[in-house]
């Protein structure tokens, strides 16, 4: 019996971690960035700023 692919690959969103010029880290969908090595301010508006996101289980 063939396994069921619950999440077909065309519906999956791939993410990457990028940094802005100030060194802040962001999580971005790959398709919103033209060049992940040089994200623009406009592109970063569509990303999650990790430094401003609560991480209650990050230790400390």
- Tell me what pLDDT residue 38 has: 93
Nearest to 24 by CA among 3, 47, 5: 47
Residue 46 is classified by DSSP as: T
Beta-bridge partners for 29: 15
Q: Is 19 helix (H, G, I), strand (E, B) or coil?
A: strand
- Tell me what pLDDT residue 10 has: 67
Residues 6+ apart with CB under 8 A from 20: 26, 39, 41, 44
Nearest to 51 by CA among 5, 17, 4: 17
- Tell me what pLDDT residue 1 has: 52
**Regions of the chain with pLDDT less than 70:** 1-10, 54-55, 58-60
pLDDT in tens, 14-25: 899 999 999 999
- Tell me what pLDDT residue 17 has: 93
Residue 26 is classified by DSSP as: E
């Amino acid at each position: 019996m063939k396994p069921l692919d619950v999440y077909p690959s065309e519906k999956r969103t791939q993410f990457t971690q990028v940094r802005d010029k100030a060194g802040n880290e962001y999580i971005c969908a790959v398709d919103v960035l033209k060049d992940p090595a040089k994200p623009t301010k406009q592109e970063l508006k569509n990303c999650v700023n990790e430094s401003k996101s609560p991480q209650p289980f990050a230790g400390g």
